[in-house]
Structures are given as structure tokens and as C-alpha cells.
Homo-oligomer: A and B are copies of this chain.
Amino acid sequence: MRALKYAILGLLIKRPMTGYEIAKEFSYELAEFWYANHSQIYPELKKLTSEGHVVFNIEISGDILEAKRYTITDKGIKDFTQWILKDENLQRTPKDIFRLRMYFSNNLEVGSRIHLLENQRLQHVNRLNTLKKIFEQYLEVPSASSDRFGDFLVLRGAIMREENYIAWIDECIMYSKENPQTSPK
């Protein structure tokens, strides 16, 4: 499927970038739904070059330090355009370790369960607040053709996802308190 390939090509359509810059993009906004380490990115860029989807030229900053700035080719654009149009079936539901813990939570005392839930809740609230702060930068909805539109949509999606996760945790806490462990099986 090579999703990383298309994530990189999509970024390079906006502007030519170095591997280092691509890695940074993945750790800022994109991190809300995609991520890759530089150890994955550099080999992928090599592969994309050998396939003719990208080309690079070397830039020198200072006296020695080299950076490869990659540009997407026509072939790369064509391939990306075909990919983004495909409507695919739903992915397998992503693995969620906390949900796995909750699935087995009958093995915990009520106190421990609620402690785990509260801890998780706090972390999601923190993340939600961070996301909301970023979202405040959008004073209006960007035009659907602007390259900030996608960013706006996924940021909104990330906020909704966090709010929803917190709502689920709150339900879990409520049910745990209503049905203390001493209830009959």
C-alpha cells in the first residue's frame, strides 16, 4: 500500500523539501494522524528517487553542510493524484492499548480502575487543550482549495476525537462507580 510514499509526495506537492523538513512536518500538525521517523523517511526518499517520483538537488549551507532538496516529478504527481482519488474500504480499527486494558478491567479493583481512567482522562484533556490552542489560529474557515484547508479539517477532527475519547472515559468512570465490585455476578 505504501502510505508513507503518498504522505511524502503530498507534502512535496506543496513545496520542495529536504528529508529533515519532512520529518519536522510529521512531528508537528501531521502528528495528529500520521508520523514517521527520519530513519523511515530517508530510505523512502531514496526509493522514490530510484523510481523517478522525485528528484533532488544538493544545497550547501555554510561551507560544507549538505542538504538534499527533493522536488516531485510529473510521474510523482500523476501517481499521487491517482492514489488520493481511490475510495478505499475502512481500515482495520486501530489497536488501542488502553481499550485493551479496559476490556480486561474486571481483573482490577474499582479503585485501581478509576485511577487508570482518571490518569488517562488527564492526559487527553491536556492534549485537547493543546489542540484547541492551535485551532484558535484559524479565525475563519480556509478556502477549500487552499493548502490550509486539509490542515483545518484534520485539526478539527483531532479535537472532536479527543472530546469523544474523554466522554467515553467519563462514561467508564460513571459505570464503574455505579456498579461497585461487590455486586453479585
Contacts and interface: CB of A to CB of B under 8 A. Distances in A.
Interface residues of A, number: 81
Interface string A152-168: 11101110110110011
Given A153-B102, A153-B105, A3 B95 contact: yes
A33 interface: yes
B171 A156 contact: yes
A163 B163 CA distance: 12
Given A168-B157, A179-B141, A185-B145, A108 B84 contact: yes
Indicate how many identical chains form the complex. Answer: 2
A184 B102 CA distance: 48
A149 B84 contact: no
A112 interface: yes
A132 interface: no
A113 B35 CA distance: 23
A107 B13 contact: yes
A104 B97 CA distance: 29
A98 to B, nearest CB: 8
Contact of A179 (B33, B97, B144): B144
Given A147-B106, A156-B171, A90 B35 contact: no
Given A143-B179, A145-B183, A181-B145, A100 B34 contact: yes
Interface in A111-167: 112-113, 115-116, 119-120, 123-124, 127, 141-147, 149-154, 156-158, 160-161, 163-164, 167
Contacts of A63: none
Contacts of A85: 108, 112, 116
